[in-house]
Amino acid sequence: MKTNASLRIFKVSTLASLGIAVIAALVTQPTVADIFDDNSLVITENSSTSLTATYTFPHGSTLACTVTLLAPDQWTVTLPFESEHLDEFSNLWQEPENPPPTTIGNRIFNANSGSNTVSVISDFNAGGIAGTPRPNGFSGTLFGIGTDSANETQIDLTFTDNAATSEPHAAPDTGSTFGLLFVSLLALLGASRLRSIQLA
């Protein structure tokens, strides 16, 4: 009997110790969210001459990047610190008004590995570039374009094109244009016939 009681006490104390160890391990280990939380560069095109860019640290503050307009639909984005070193990369994002299979897209690239600048070209003819453009917005985030040496964490890039809603590129409606031209010609013909009748 004494043996069974001591075994029960041993089992309870062992389970309690094991439970405390598991809880301690869970508290000290990083969460899944912490492991995948990166520095984030978010670029938004608002119009052919307006682009904004922000840089966000993991669980930290958001800083504005320097955006330089080179020409309509062309910008250079400079990250806020020299500690951000980008890899050499070149990617396309879809134009919302020109979805695939069109070859028009938004090209975002860094031609110099180790720099902290990104080039953006909107409405770019990507006929000679292989690959499918990324979806517009957060679903098309590009992971690992570089590493921030300040926190040794990778940098992810998200590009969103809102210019299509602010500057719609409406194609002319050829059917209605032809109809208006035809009605105008009929009216002109009718007016000239009416004038010739009045003069007679």
Model pLDDT, residue 174: 41
What ranges do the domains of the chain cover? 40-166
The single residue listed with the structure tokens 């639909």 is 73
- Which of 3-12, 35-44, 125-134, 135-144 has the weakest average pLDDT? 3-12
Per-residue pLDDT averaged across 67-74, rounded? 97
Q: What is the pLDDT of residues 136-169, one digit of tens each?
A: 999 899 999 999 988 889 999 999 999 876 554 4
Q: What is the pLDDT of residues 113-141, one digit of tens each?
A: 888 999 999 998 877 666 778 999 998 99
Helices (runs of H) and strands (runs of E) counted in the chain: 4, 11
Establish whether the linkage from the previous residue to 101 is cis, with ω within 30° of 0.
yes
Question: What are the DSSP E strand ranges found in 79-200?
Answer: 84-86, 89-94, 104-110, 117-125, 142-148, 153-161
Largest alpha-carbon pair distance within the chain? 135
Model pLDDT, residue 59: 83
The single residue listed with the structure tokens 């031209």 is 181
DSSP type of residue 131: S
> Does 6 score more than 90 pLDDT?
no
Strand 74-78 versus strand 62-64 pairing type = unpaired
> Does 186 score more than 60 pLDDT?
no
17 vs 24, residue with greater confidence: 17
Tokens found for residue 139:
């679903």
Predicted TM-score of the model (pTM): 0.64
Query: In which band, very low, low, confident or very high, does the pLDDT at 177 lie, cut at 50, 70 and 90?
Result: very low
